[in-house]
């Protein structure tokens, strides 16, 4: 008896974790992977392990302010330029320009591209989470198998009720008729 209750709890926990991950859990995983990648890159910069990959980018301050270049600060040690993330190793400023010795962050860009690809795939496949929920409901609650045929693929519940319903008047009169009460 104790094993049966424990296995039910484990199955319920797995089902709940799957639902949470499928709905928004991959965002949490993505955030943790980005955090670990940033920590790894910043430690590599401090240890000077990536000196061969450091590049110099120079921008006019007026071009950044006017939006002539695709440049956006993420924080004081990171920025986005032409769609790519860069980590700053050294920054020097003159009166009219900024010179950034930086590292093109391949890992973070790859993570971001994969996350966007996953997110777009999930947006296109709207039925993926619904199919997973139906599979879990069918497994956890056998009675759901009997209810499932009543739900059509377009999401209508009990479509035969909607299909069989006919309105008597094809259009609603405008303005509505006046109602007189006789006492």
Angle at 82 between CA 81 and CA 87, to 5 degrees: 30
User: Which residues, given as ranges, of the chain have pLDDT below 70?
Assistant: 1-4, 21-26, 122-123, 125-183
CB 68 within 8 A of CB 61: no
pLDDT at 133: 53
How far is Cα 169 from Cα 172, in angstroms, rounded to an integer?
7
pLDDT at 75: 86
Angle at 19 between CA 18 and CA 20, to 5 degrees: 90
Is 7 a member of any domain? yes
pLDDT at 100: 92
Is 121 a member of any domain? yes
- Token readout for 147 is 């209810």
pLDDT at 179: 66
Determine how β-strand 97-104 pairs with β-strand 54-60.
antiparallel
Is 42 a member of any domain? yes
| pLDDT 10s digits, 64-116 | 888 888 888 888 889 999 888 999 989 999 999 999 999 898 888 888 888 78
Closest to 104 (Cα-Cα) out of 91, 125, 88 = 88
pLDDT at 56: 92
pLDDT at 14: 84
Is 157 a member of any domain? no
Is 162 a member of any domain? no
pLDDT at 93: 92
Is 149 a member of any domain? no
Is 56 a member of any domain? yes
pLDDT at 171: 63
Total structural domains in the chain? 1
Is 32 a member of any domain? yes
pLDDT at 151: 47
Domain span at 91: 2-139
């Amino acid at each position: 008896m104790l094993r049966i209750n424990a296995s039910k709890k484990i199955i319920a926990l797995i089902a709940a974790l799957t639902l949470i991950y499928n709905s928004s859990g991959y965002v949490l995983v993505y955030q943790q992977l980005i955090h670990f990648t940033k920590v790894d890159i910043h430690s590599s910069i401090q240890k000077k392990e990536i000196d061969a990959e450091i590049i110099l980018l120079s921008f006019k301050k007026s071009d950044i302010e006017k939006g002539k270049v695709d440049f956006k600060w993420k924080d004081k040690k990171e920025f986005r330029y032409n769609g790519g993330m860069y980590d700053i190793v050294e920054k020097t400023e003159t009166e009219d320009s900024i010179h950034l010795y930086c590292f093109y962050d391949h890992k973070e860009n790859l993570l971001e591209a994969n996350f966007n690809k996953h997110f777009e795939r999930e947006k296109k496949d709207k039925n993926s989470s619904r199919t997973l929920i139906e599979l879990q409901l069918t497994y956890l609650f056998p009675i759901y198998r009997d209810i499932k045929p009543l739900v059509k693929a377009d999401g209508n519940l009990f479509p035969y009720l909607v299909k069989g319903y006919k309105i008597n008047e094809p259009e609603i009169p405008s303005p509505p008729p006046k109602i007189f009460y006789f006492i």
